[in-house]
Amino acid sequence: MSEVLELIQRRHSSRVSFDPNRSIARNALKKILAAAAWAPTAHNMQNFEVIVVDDRDQLRAIGEVKSGLSETFIRENYAQLSFSEEELRRKKTGVLAAMFPPSWRDPKMFAKLEEAAFAEGPSFMSSTIRDCPTLLFVTYDSSKRAPASAGDVLGFISLGCVMQNMWLTAEEMGIGLQILSAFSSSQVESEIKKLLGIPPALKIGFTARLGYPTAEGAEQVKKYLRVRRDAGEFCHHGKYGVKAGEWP
C-alpha cells in the first residue's frame, strides 16, 4: 500500500481534548498553510484566506461568543448514528452514538437542547473549542465564483480540497484536527468577523481546531471504530447498477 493511501486512511477527526499548554510550532503551521496553497482550486482562483488564531486572549474571547445548538443539526446528526459497533460495521456509514453526549441520543431531549445551549451562552462555545492552542478560520469571497458554476459548486469543492490538504499534512505531523460547524451559523459568524476584523465580503467556509491530544484523548482516539464502504459497493462500471464488485 502506498504511503499516501496509508496517510489518507489514518486521517481522522480529533473529537478529543487537546493539551492547551502544547502549542503548534510555527514551522508546522507553515507546512499546513503550504499544503493549503497547493490545493487544487477551480480555475486556480485560490478564493480563500486563512486566519490563524493562536493568541490565548483571542481564543478566550472566541470562547465567550454566545452560541447555540440547532435542533435541526441534532436531529440530522441523530439520523447518522449507530447504537452499537455491530450496527456501524453493518451500515459502514455514519458514526457511533457513544461519541456524543447522552442527550444527543435521546429524541425526547432535542427540543430542549437548543434552548439549553443558548442559556449556557459562552460556556457552549468554550466547550466547543475545548482549550485548543490554535484555530484556523478558512474564509472565501462570496461575491466571486468559478465560471459557469451555479451555486459556486466548484468553489465549495475547492474549499474541500484546501481542507483535505491541511488535514493530511497535520495528520502526517501528529497534529490533531477537527472541523467545527458551530462557526457557520450567521449569528456566530457575525461576532467572529467583528473579533477578527474579517471583511464583509468574506464568509467563513470552515474552522479547523488544531492541537495535540492529551494522553487521555489519544487513548480515546484509539477506541474509535472507523468504517468505510468497499470500492465495490459504490463503484459502478460502464453504467449505473453494474457494480465493480460484480466484475468477473
Q: Rounded CA gap, 2 and 165, in Å?
A: 17
Q: How far is CA 82 from CA 97, 98, 105, 137, 219, in A?
A: 6, 9, 10, 31, 21
Which residues have C-beta within 8 Å of that of residue 231, sequence separation ≥ 6?
244, 245
Q: Which of 81-95, 138-152, 219-233 has the highest mean pLDDT?
A: 81-95
DSSP3 helix / strand / coil % (the chain, rounded to 5):
50, 15, 35
Cα separation of 208 and 197, whole Å? 18
- Residue 81 has phi, psi (to 5 degrees) of -85, 145
pLDDT at 138 exceeding the cut of 80: yes
C-alpha cell at 173: 505531523
> What pLDDT, on a 0 to 100 scale, did the predictor assign at position 212?
95
Angle between helices 122-129 and 110-120 (to 10 degrees): 100
The predicted pLDDT at position 117 comes to 61
pLDDT at 194 over 60: yes
246 Cβ partners below 8 Å, 6+ apart?
Answer: 232, 237
pLDDT of 100 higher than 60: yes
Collect all residues with Cβ–Cβ distance below 8 Å to 226 and sequence separation of at least 6: 12
C-alpha cell at 5: 493511501
Say if residue 182's pLDDT is above 90: no
Question: What percentage of residues in the chain have a pLDDT greater than 70?
Answer: 94
Report the C-alpha gap between 81 and 141 in whole angstroms: 34
How many residues does the structure list for the chain? 248
- Convert the pLDDT of each residue in 103-136 to its tens digit: 899 998 888 776 666 555 556 778 888 789 999 9
pLDDT in tens, 196-248: 999 999 999 999 999 999 988 888 888 889 999 998 899 998 889 888 776 66
Q: Where are the domains of the chain?
A: 1-13+21-54+128-213, 69-120+218-248
Sorting pLDDT into bands at 50, 70 and 90, what band is 193?
Answer: very high
Superfamily of domain 1-13+21-54+128-213: NADH Oxidase (3.40.109.10)
| Range name among 49-63, 118-132, 178-192, 226-240 with the lowest pLDDT average | 118-132
Provide mean pLDDT across the span 27-51. Answer: 97
Tell me: pLDDT of 174 over 90.
yes
Euclidean distance between CA atoms 206 and 139, whole angstroms: 7
pLDDT range class, residue 186, cuts 50, 70, 90:
confident
Instruction: Estimate the crossing angle of helix 26-37 against helix 153-172, to 10 degrees.
Output: 150
Q: Give the pLDDT score at 213.
A: 93
